[in-house]
């Protein structure tokens, strides 16, 4: 284990990518980067992280920000519960005095911080011997140690965590815990990749069970992924309702899909979409475009339609908690989900604004 830990750290020191959050040991900055990096590629995260840190440079600045401002800054990164949890965590930190807890256990008590994030902050910012496991680390450890359990199931998770902890315990004192964790993640991201691990240049090849036994393709063991057509579909119409150069936008209530983000009123058809904002659709709606997207457990199939509707707009369903007539030209400044942004790309084909309903 000691030789393995040394090989990982030494490789990391030689090959680490110069990422902006690696220039700091500010626990808040590292926390933000780790949350953004979950389910999102490094190249995508870099500009978001830089803008975020300029806008909310401290945990106090984030805690004091309006929810809408936060969601705007996150818009486009997806998995929006991450942004909501970050704000909840920041507010909990401020309520408790303003300083982030000083160890992994304390960090885990914050909303939205799990074992992985706590391990990342404690090891990278504080230099503590806190292990972590994410998808990259699980893959590397499953291959190196020949773990044949499903790494997403309880037993497999336990094994992988035990291996990560043993590795951390074996790390010599002249090497940093943060380097070991980042080195493991870096190896998983750049060398021990899911489908084409480059074992010939891997610093762990001499100690790797999968490489020795030619089992790279079968490890790690993962649960079978559902095919897209096996996922339940959400099929909805998003209704473009325009009056005097303004379009009606609604905000999703926190707690459900896209909570805190703005969109056009949606429903199972155009009539239902109008009814969701207390309006009555006049005549038939006109289809302008479609957008399909795979979410983690569902398929989303949205249709953009224009229509005219009568009545006074109001919140009529629990799904939404705010509504606003927005200048058509300012729609892009709202924090909208990636699905709505894609749907709005069909806007240029909308043609002349319709008469008020």
| Catalytic residue annotation | 34
Interface with ligand SF4 (CB under 6 A), residue from 8, 107, 151, 210: 210
Residue 202 interacting with ligand SF4 (CB under 6 A): yes
- Structure tokens given for 302: 């949205």
Interface with ligand SF4 (CB under 6 A), residue from 19, 148, 170, 205: 205
CA distances from 7 to 14, 182, 196, 207, 221 (A): 11, 13, 21, 10, 25
Looking at beta carbons only, is 217 or 284 nearer to ligand SF4?
217
Interface with ligand SF4 (CB under 6 A), residue from 35, 211, 248, 273: 211
Using the contact rule CB under 6 A, the part of the chain among 117-125, 191-199, 222-230, 291-299 near ligand SF4 is 191-199
Whether the CA torsion 261, 263, 268, 273 is positive or negative: it is positive
Interface with ligand SF4 (CB under 6 A), residue from 199, 231, 253, 317: 199
Separation CA 89–CA 84 (nearest Å)? 9
Whether the CA torsion 290, 296, 299, 300 is positive or negative: it is negative
Separation CA 125–CA 103 (nearest Å)? 10
Looking at beta carbons only, is 107 or 171 nearer to ligand SF4?
171
Interface with ligand SF4 (CB under 6 A), residue from 216, 282, 293, 338: 216
Phi and psi angles of residue 265, each rounded to the nearest 5 degrees, phi first: -55, 135
Q: Residue 336: beta bridge partners?
A: 262
Residue 295 interacting with ligand SF4 (CB under 6 A): no
Residue 160 interacting with ligand SF4 (CB under 6 A): no
Looking at beta carbons only, is 200 or 355 nearer to ligand SF4?
200
Q: Give the nearest distance from C-beta 153 to ligand SF4 in angstroms.
A: 21
Looking at beta carbons only, is 146 or 357 nearer to ligand SF4?
146
Residue 343 interacting with ligand SF4 (CB under 6 A): no
In whole angstroms, what separates CA 113 from the centre of its chain? Answer: 13
CA distances from 79 to 36, 83, 198, 265, 296 (A): 9, 8, 31, 20, 9
Residue 143 interacting with ligand SF4 (CB under 6 A): yes
- Structure tokens given for 197: 């691990």
Q: Give the nearest distance from C-beta 186 to ligand SF4 in angstroms.
A: 12
Q: Give the nearest distance from C-beta 189 to ligand SF4 in angstroms.
A: 12
Burial 128-165 (b: 16+ CB within 10 A, else e): bbbbbbbbbbbbbbbbbbebebbbeeeebbebbbebbb
Using the contact rule CB under 6 A, the part of the chain among 3-11, 44-52, 121-129, 190-198 near ligand SF4 is 190-198
Using the contact rule CB under 6 A, the part of the chain among 4-12, 117-125, 196-204, 276-284 near ligand SF4 is 196-204
Binding residues (CB under 6 A) for ligand SF4: these are 140, 143-144, 191-192, 197-199, 202, 204-205, 208, 210-211, 216
């Amino acid at each position: 284990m000691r030789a393995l830990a040394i090989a990982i750290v030494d490789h990391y020191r030689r090959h680490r990518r110069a990422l902006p959050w690696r220039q700091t040991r500010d626990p808040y900055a590292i926390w933000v980067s780790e949350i953004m990096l979950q389910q999102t590629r490094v190249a995508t995260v870099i500009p978001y992280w830089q803008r975020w840190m300029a806008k909310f440079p401290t945990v106090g600045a984030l805690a004091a920000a309006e929810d809408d401002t936060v969601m705007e800054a996150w818009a486009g990164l997806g998995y929006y519960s991450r942004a909501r949890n970050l704000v909840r965590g920041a507010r909990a930190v401020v309520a408790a005095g303003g300083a982030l807890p000083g160890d992994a256990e304390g960090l885990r008590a914050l909303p939205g911080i799990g074992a992985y994030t706590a391990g990342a902050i404690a090891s990278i910012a504080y230099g503590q011997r806190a292990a972590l496991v994410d998808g990259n680390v699980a893959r590397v450890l499953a291959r190196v140690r020949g773990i044949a359990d499903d790494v997403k199931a309880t037993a497999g998770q336990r094994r992988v965590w035990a291996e990560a902890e043993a590795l951390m315990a074996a790390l010599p004192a002249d090497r940093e815990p943060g380097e070991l964790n980042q080195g493991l993640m870096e190896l998983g991201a750049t060398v021990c990749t899911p489908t084409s691990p480059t074992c010939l240049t891997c610093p762990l090849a001499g100690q790797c069970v999968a490489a020795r036994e030619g089992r790279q393709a079968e490890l790690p063991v993962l649960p079978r992924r559902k095919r897209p057509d096996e996922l339940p579909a959400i099929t909805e119409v998003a209704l473009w309702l325009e009056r005097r150069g303004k379009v009606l936008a609604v905000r999703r209530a926190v707690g459900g899909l896209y909570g805190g983000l703005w969109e056009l009123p949606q429903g199972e058809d155009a009539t239902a979409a109008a009814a969701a904002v207390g309006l009555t659709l006049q005549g038939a709606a006109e289809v302008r475009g479609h957008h399909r997207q795979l979410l983690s457990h569902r398929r989303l199939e949205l249709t953009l339609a224009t229509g005219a509707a009568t009545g006074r707009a109001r919140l009529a369903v629990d799904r939404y908690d705010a509504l606003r007539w927005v200048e058509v030209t300012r729609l892009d400044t709202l924090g909208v989900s990636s699905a709505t942004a894609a749907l709005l790309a069909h806007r240029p084909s909308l043609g002349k604004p319709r008469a008020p309903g």
